[in-house]
Amino acid sequence: MESKSNNIFLGIDVGSVSTKMVVLDTETLEMIDHLYVRTHGDPLTSIRTVMKRLAEKQPQAVVQASATTGSGRHLAARIMNTGIIKNEITTHTLAGVKIMPEVRTIVEIGGQDSKIIIIRDGMAIDFAMNTVCAAGTGSFLDQQAGRLEIKVEDMGEIALSSENPSTISGRCTVFAETDMIHKQQIGIATNDIVAGLCCSLVRNYLASVAKGKPIKPPVVFQGGVAANQGIVREFQEQTGFAFNVSPYYGVAGAYGAALLASMAKDDQPEFRGFELLDKELRIKSFACRKCEEACTVLMLYRDGELISFWNDRCGRYSSGELALKA
C-alpha cells in the first residue's frame, strides 16, 4: 500500500538479531509498509536493506520525520539524520498503548532480551529487562529448533499438539539445553519436549524478568516470540490472564518509533537515509583517552568524509560541529 499523500513517518528498530522498519501515512497514521530482516552482526547492511525496500515500495515517499530505537539506534539516527532516538521501553509502550489503550501490562520477548512494562493510564510506570541470560528469547528458541530439526515457526503448533509436556529446566540456556538433550536421548517425543520447553521458559520469565512486578490484565504480548502459540498458551495458563498478541508483534519497536516520529514538530532535519543506496558509508572507531571513561568513539564516513561522531559519553566529539553534518 502506498501513502495517499506520499508523506510518511518512518520508524527504524535496529537490534542485535533483527532490524525492523515501519512506515506510517502522515494523514491517517495507518501502517502502509513494514519489514523485518536479520541484522547478522552488520547493522549498516541491514539498514541499507530496509532503505532499499522503502525506495522500491514508496518511490515518491517524502519522509516528514523519522525515529530510531533498539541497540543500534544511535547508528541508525546518524544515517537517517534524525535527533529522535528512544529506548525500547518507550517505543514498545507507545506501540502497545496504540493498539490497546486500556493495556496495563506489556510483555515483550525479542531475539536477545525480554522485558515487562507496567502501564497505568497509558504511561509506563515501571519496567524490568533480562539481558544477561538468553534463555527464553528468540535466539535460544532458534537454536533449540535447529537441535530438534524442526522449523522455529512450527514450534508453537508442535507444542499445542502435546498432551504430556516434559519437565525441562528453564533456569538458563545451559541447563535447558542439557535437559533437552537428555530427554531426546531417553526417547521422549519431540512435541512433549517442545511443550515442556515452552512451559519452562514462561516459568523462568515469570520468576526472573517479571519477579515482583504486578502483571495485571489487559496484557499485550509483543516481540517475535509472541508468534509462538505454545508460549502464549503457557503464559495464559500460568498467569490466568488472556495474553493479547499484538497484530504488529514482530515490528512493535519500529511501530512505536514511527508513532514517535509522528509527534515530531514540523522543523525536522532533512532525511538522509536514502544516501545508503548511492553513497559509500563506513564506520570507524578510536579509543578516547581524554578521561578515565576511555570511550570507544564511533565515526561515520560518507564517501570518505567524516560526517558524525557518537558513543562519547561526555559529548566531546558528538556535540561539536561535525555531529549530523549536512
Q: Express each pLDDT in 151-191 by its tens digit.
A: 888 999 999 999 888 888 756 666 777 888 888 888 899 99
Please state which architecture CATH assigns to domain 100-249: 2-Layer Sandwich (3.30)
**What is the structure's pLDDT at 320?**
67
Mean pLDDT to the nearest integer, 293-310: 88
Between CA 231 and CA 66 the distance in angstroms is 33
Q: Which residues pair with 54 in a beta bridge?
A: none
CB atoms inside a 10 Å sphere around CB 37: 15
Between CA 17 and CA 144 the distance in angstroms is 16
Q: What is the pTM of this model?
A: 0.88
Closest CA to 113 of 93, 95, 139, 94: 139
pLDDT band of residue 321 (cuts 50, 70, 90) is very low
More confident: 298 or 265: 298
**What is the structure's pLDDT at 178?**
83
**Which helix (H) or strand (E) segment is 140 a member of?**
helix 138-148
**What is the structure's pLDDT at 174?**
66
Q: pLDDT at residue 325 above 70? A: no
**What is the percent of the chain with per-residue pLDDT over 70, rounded to a whole number?**
93
Average pLDDT over all residues of the chain: 89
**What is the structure's pLDDT at 238?**
95
Render 145-203 in DSSP notation, one character per residue: HHHHTS-GGGHHHHHHT-SSPPP---SSHHHHHHHHHHHHHTT--HHHHHHHHHHHHHH
Closest CA to 103 of 87, 121, 88: 121
pLDDT, tens digit, 9 for 90 and up, residues 42-75: 999 999 999 999 999 988 889 999 999 998 999 9
How is residue 261 written as a grid cell? 516520529
**What is the structure's pLDDT at 324?**
46
**What is the structure's pLDDT at 2?**
55
Q: CA-CA distances (angstroms) from residue 294 to 68, 78, 288?
A: 26, 22, 5
**What is the structure's pLDDT at 143?**
82
**What is the structure's pLDDT at 268?**
87
Give the residue extent of every domain in the chain: 100-249, 279-326
Phi/psi at 135 (5° precision): -60, 125
SS3 8: strand
**What is the structure's pLDDT at 140?**
81
pLDDT, tens digit, 9 for 90 and up, residues 217-267: 999 999 989 999 999 999 999 999 999 999 999 999 999 999 999 998 777
**What is the structure's pLDDT at 134?**
57
Q: CA-CA distances (angstroms) from residue 323 to 207, 254, 290, 297?
A: 43, 24, 19, 13
Closest CA to 54 of 262, 210, 268, 276: 276
pLDDT band of residue 122 (cuts 50, 70, 90) is very high
CB 281 within 8 A of CB 275: yes
Between CA 167 and CA 183 the distance in angstroms is 9
- Is residue 233 left, alpha or beta, with left meaning phi > 0 and alpha meaning psi from -120 to 50? alpha
pLDDT, tens digit, 9 for 90 and up, residues 8-49: 999 999 988 899 999 999 999 999 999 999 998 899 999 999
